[in-house]
Structure 1
Amino acid sequence: MTLLRPEITRAVVGVTSNRLLVDAVHRDWLRRKYLQALHRHAGVACVILPTVDAEDAREEVVPAIMRRLDGLVLTGDESNIDPAVLRAPASLTEDDRQDVEDGILDRPRDRLSAVTIESAIALGMPILGICRGLQELNVYFGGTLRSSLAEWRPESGAMHAEKPNRPRDRQYDAAHSVKICSDGALFPIARTIEAQVNSLHNQGIEALAPALRREAWAPDGLVEAASVIGAPTLQIGVQWHPEWHVSSDLLSKQLFKAFGEACVGYYRTKKS
């Protein structure tokens, strides 16, 4: 007699890619750390979302994909956000046609994030923003960014900067502590009011968007996590990188687990 196992519900999430320009050839790319963490610790399947060129930003391709998904992950990247493009992805200028500069500018990613955030919010879908992803949420909702933390405060620049003299994986060891709001969306996940995080970034939130709630902050006061006010599900961004050491870091495990559960819950509401 063969016993049938109950079917495991596996939600499917969209994961934002980045644009890379090599030998004048445009490529979409993504670090596998995100996919591994989502598969192994959130329990979801992943679809890599392609970046968007200016002339394609008005098309309905990305929203059509989003309607078939159960969650959105806004990944990190070294490039800085162009707020004008993220807030108006369908704008088209001559400058927009030369819009990729390695580690500095990635407007195709800005367009992708803009249209995916818009769709995810309209659909009431779970969102997890990581590093650049938190900043994208803030800019999308009308917040502002500091162009350089080192120029804002030299000690803040040092606190949040990458440590290039270390091996790559050790650069993503814990960098500083954060305080966690005791009555927000992050506290039930973290189950603590203080944690150590691997927050590495050059830019940071200046003015938090009115639609976002501060969930965690660094010793210098910089916002390190924020959630969408009144969201029907988990819609949150963190400034750190939970994907790097998720197998050994409890907060990272809890964050991915909570996101995965939110995505399954969203999937079930669509099927009911």
Structure 2
Amino acid sequence: MTAIPRDVRRAVVGVTANRQLHDGVHRDWLRRRYIEALERHACVECVILPTIDGDLSREETLRKFRGVMSRLDGLVLTGDESNLDPDIFNLQQRAWNRASDDVIPGERDRPRDRLSSIALSVAIELAMPILGICRGLQEMSVHRSGSLHADLSAAGEGVVHSENPNVPRDQQYLPVHTVQVVPGGLLSSIVGEGDLYVNSLHNQGITEVASGVQREAVAEDGVIEALSYTTSGTFQFGVQWHPEWHAATDATSQKIFSAFGNACHAYQSTGPLSG
């Protein structure tokens, strides 16, 4: 794919933050690797979307984010160590309102869940390009009522999907297993068919998708490693691995970011596709 020339006005994408709770202090954060990969290989500019505490109702929050995201050309759902809470995406009010246990470091991040639920709803309304990474792929699936396995390690199917905590962080992002690209899909049009060798740092996972969602790559144990939304004419796509980590040297990662960037610049030029 042809990269966007750097002398044209770049598209602007919203990138989801995560909530960090340390010493009783709440912070929004995300790793620089996402921004670096998006700026360099998608050729877009980034704004960080803040997490949501749930003090406003979901409908009030939706109205607020429609105003913000109508100025954007794409949405990126980042990864994080926390597991997502499906109740947020299922619109159960019990989990939407702020609660004392909303954030458990390394385990739960409901402020991020609320952000992704709202951002996905608005992006779908606007037919906006979406790129989901790791947790972001799971959010895309659950948002469309897909099932979520809470702990893949309990399935014992032979493929280890979580990282090894006993090696340095950079080594945790090295490729560890293969995935089969589904022929004829969006991913195959970007990187070709066959197997990809990918990194894997997740505890939750999906093996089935709901209506309007297409499998794009699958691991040997049946865990879905890439998906796309089929109800929009634009790029709305997610991967379970982390293409941002080695984007500077990995051609497959660069192709994925470039495809997303091209979709964002097309959206910037024409707006939502009709029909």
Q: TM-score, normalised by structure 1?
A: 0.92
Matches within 5 A, 1:117-266: 117-153=120-156, 155-156=158-159, 159-266=160-267
Q: Percentage identity across aligned positions? A: 50
Cα 1:233/1:95, change in 2 over 3 Å: closer
Cα deviation per residue 1:85-141 (whole Å; 9 max; x = unaligned)? 122276567773430000111000000000100011110100000000000011100
Q: Distance in 2 between matches of 1:223 and 1:191?
A: 18
Partner of 1:20: 20
Partner of 2:36: 36
Q: Distance in 1 between matches of 2:87 and 2:250?
A: 36
Aligned length: 266
Q: Distance in 1 between matches of 2:73 and 2:218?
A: 29
The alignment status of 1:68 with 2:71, answered yes or no, reads yes
Q: Residue 37 of structure 1 aligns to a residue in which SS?
A: helix
Q: Calculate the aligned-residue CA RMSD, in Å.
A: 2.0
Q: Distance in 2 between matches of 1:93 and 1:144?
A: 19
Q: Distance in 2 between matches of 1:254 and 1:207?
A: 26
Structure 1 segments of 4+ aligned residues over 4 angstroms from their partners: 89-95
Q: Which amino acid in 2 is paired with 1:107?
A: R
Q: Which shows bigger deviation, 50-59 or 210-219?
A: 50-59
Q: Distance in 2 between matches of 1:265 and 1:103?
A: 37
Q: Distance in 1 between matches of 2:175 and 2:212?
A: 29
Q: Residue 64 of structure 1 aligns to a residue in which SS?
A: helix
Partner of 2:54: 54
Q: Distance in 2 between matches of 1:210 and 1:17?
A: 28
Q: Structure 1: which 5+ residue stretches go unaligned?
A: none
Q: TM-score, normalised by structure 2?
A: 0.91
Deviation of residue 63 (structure 1)? Answer: 2.0
Q: Distance in 2 between matches of 1:242 and 1:65?
A: 27
Check whether the contact 2:186–2:228 (CA below 8 A) recurs between aligned residues.
Answer: yes
Deviation of residue 207 (structure 1)? Answer: 2.7
